[in-house]
Amino acid sequence: MALQLIEHGSPEYQQMLNLRNLVLRKPLGLEFDPIELEKESHDILIGAFEDGDILGCCMLIEENPATLRLRQMAVFNEKQGKGIGRAMMHFAENLARERGYKTLNMHARKNSVGFYEKMGYQVTSQEFTEVTIPHVIMEKKL
Ligand SMILES: CC(C)(COP(=O)(O)OP(=O)(O)OC[C@H]1O[C@@H](n2cnc3c(N)ncnc32)[C@H](O)[C@@H]1OP(=O)(O)O)[C@@H](O)C(=O)NCCC(=O)NCCS
């Protein structure tokens, strides 16, 4: 498995969108807004690939000069539980450290809180609703 940055608008980005749609949007009956997707050209896009096929993805958005937010963490259903999410978190955290960020946070879906806890993140907010489902903010000092 190779972890790599994804260029916005590239064929790899199309694979990433397909994965995000299947795992994160379709189950909720939602779709992406093309205007929101355009803005992702400013973000750090990350993918886990095997033989050119995407297995998992996530992205990092600058919240402020010290803090990045992780978004859109997804692994294909049949590939979950094999360490791909963990590998992507390590890649994202190392990249954030190298670029001088001090904190990583995310709006975690409630059913993924256990995953982020295993990665060393702590819940720092009350529960709130986003994309129709319960979330909490989680955070880790890098
Ligand atoms: C959450 C997700 C990204 C985790 O990726 P993954 O590749 O399945 O996770 P890993 O195999 O690297 O798991 C690492 C550890 O976390 C645990 N874990 C994984 N998902 C978990 C979950 N939802 N709840 C609790 N623990 C979880 C694993 O059991 C493993 O524990 P271990 O080290 O003790 O064996 C993936 O399951 C996924 O895409 N889920 C659906 C989409 C989603 O909810 N994304 C998060 C949006 S905030």
Domains of the chain in sequence order = 2-106 (3.40.630.30)
How big is the chain by its Cα radius of gyration, in Å?
14
pLDDT digits (tens, 9 = 90+) for 71-113: 999 999 999 999 999 999 999 999 999 999 999 999 999 999 9
Distances (CA, A) of 5 to 61, 113, 121, 127, 128: 14, 25, 23, 31, 31
Residue 65 Cα, ligand 1 centroid: separation in angstroms? 28
Question: Who contacts 81 (Cβ-Cβ below 8 Å, separation ≥6)?
Answer: none
Q: Is the CB of residue 91 below 6 angstroms from any atom belonging to ligand 1?
A: no
pLDDT value at residue 134: 98
Does the global pTM surpass 0.85? yes
CA distances from 69 to 61, 62, 92, 118 (A): 5, 6, 10, 18
Mutate to test the pocket of ligand 1, among 112, 125, 137, 138 (most ligand atoms within 8 A of CB): 112
pLDDT-derived band at 51 (thresholds 50, 70, 90) equals: very high
Find the 42 Cα to ligand 1 centroid distance in Å: 27
